[in-house]
Amino acid sequence: MSISQELKNSFTSYWHYLPLRTACQLGVFDALWEGPLSLAELAEKLGAKQASLQLLLAALEQLAALRTENGQYVLAEKGAQLAEEHPQSLKYACLLWGEEHLRAWQHLAQSIRSDEAVFEQLYGQPFFDYLDEQPESNRIYHLAMNEYARDDYAQLGEQLDLSEAKAVMDLGGGLGALLKALARVHPQPKYYLLDKPKVLALLPAGELPFRPIPADFFAPIPQVAEHIFLARVLHDWPDEAALKILENVYAALPKGGRMYILEILKEQLADGAELLSLNMLAICKSQERTLAAYRKLAEKIGFAYLEKRPINDLQTLLIFEKR
């Protein structure tokens, strides 16, 4: 492919994503999860016009999300994974990137000129304050993060020895995917999930393997655990705010307690995580960091660095101790 053609293709690459997102919004994949449907049946179920819906369905076939059999539409494997009932569903991850994040990227030039989060300029408040006041955006964001965490941390329990742990806390842990992964392998410790009340309100009803603690990690943290995890938290914050979080973790841990930072390290990725850093700039005025940068932050507070362990192809676990 020529450079010219490659460029032309990149200009309309969103055409490959937004039909999938539109189908998630309309409930196409959820409707077909229940079984094959004709165009007329699907249009009636979704409250859509047949002619326009047919255009979308044809695009979804081109994207290998659907196929037709005997005059009915059937989910292909890709489309099935965008149905909410699929055990590995990515429906909310698909929904997430096409709203506020997409708008922020469209105004990325403002962030480059100002060295500020364009999100705050567009929406009038910082990202996480915005989520606190927008229930549907908050729901979609945390359900999407839970889908990523479910996959990313699935093997974490096998990669850590918590056999002597008494209590473990996940700070800013969303809907608890990390603690669930740990508790499956290490059922003996007490587990605590600390996050904002409006996040914890999204937890499913029923018995959970952890105790929710409604709190903000910029406030003092309850001293209940000798192991504290920060999984994909610090990359959301510039250095000054990250140091405040680390100070609170240090104060919450006993001497000899462990802090686990789970993040992408720029030097571990071939592309240097530069596109991820642009996203963090636009949304939070932050960026992905190197191991040296995380060590500098943690050691400034008084933590001693112990080791790093790769968790998956993207993320690395950094282990620190309070001395």
Q: Is residue 111 part of a domain?
A: no
Token pair in block for residue 91: 């429906």
Q: How many Å apart are CA 99 and CA 217, to the nearest integer?
A: 27
Q: How many Å apart are CA 300 and CA 298, to the nearest integer?
A: 5
Q: pTM value?
A: 0.96
Identify whether the C-beta of residue 291 lies closer than 8 Å to the C-beta of residue 309: no
Same-domain check for residues 169 and 79: no
Q: CATH code at 49?
A: 1.10.10.10
The contacts of residue 268 (CB under 8 Å, 6+ apart) are 310, 314, 316
Beta strands in 105-218 (DSSP E): 167-171, 190-195, 211-214
Domain containing 20 equals: 3-86
Opening angle at CA 198, ends 172 and 275, nearest 5: 50
Same-domain check for residues 313 and 172: yes
Of 86, 117, 152, the position where a domain reaches its end is 86
Angle, nearest 10°, between helix axes 50-62 and 14-26? 130
Q: Is residue 107 part of a domain?
A: no
Of 86, 118, 150, the position where a domain reaches its end is 86
Low-confidence ranges of the chain (pLDDT < 50): none
Q: Is residue 141 part of a domain?
A: yes
- Residue 259: Cβ within 10 Å count: 23
Same-domain check for residues 156 and 59: no
Same-domain check for residues 137 and 35: no
Same-domain check for residues 226 and 289: yes
Q: How many Å apart are CA 71 and CA 76, to the nearest integer?
A: 15
Cα distances from 208 to residues 107, 110, 137, 293, in angstroms, run 41, 43, 24, 35
Query: Does the annotation count 101 as an active-site position?
Result: no
- Pairing label, strands 303-310, 72-75: unpaired
Same-domain check for residues 67 and 151: no
Q: What is the DSSP string of 249-306?
A: HHHHSPTT-EEEEEEEBGGGSTTTTHHHHHHHHHHHS---B-HHHHHHHHHHHTEEEE
Q: CATH code at 255?
A: 3.40.50.150
Q: State how many domains the chain has.
A: 2
Among 178, 246, 170, 255, which Cα is nearest to 215's? 170
Q: How many Å apart are CA 131 and CA 109, to the nearest integer?
A: 23
Q: Is residue 93 part of a domain?
A: no
Which one from 142, 186, 227, 235 is the annotated catalytic residue?
235
**What pLDDT, on the 0 to 100 scale, is given for residue 65?**
98
Identify whether the C-beta of residue 316 lies closer than 8 Å to the C-beta of residue 289: no
Token pair in block for residue 76: 């292909």
Q: Is residue 199 part of a domain?
A: yes
Q: How many Å apart are CA 247 and CA 267, to the nearest integer?
A: 26
Q: How many Å apart are CA 238 and CA 197, to the nearest integer?
A: 23
**What pLDDT, on the 0 to 100 scale, is given for residue 72?**
98
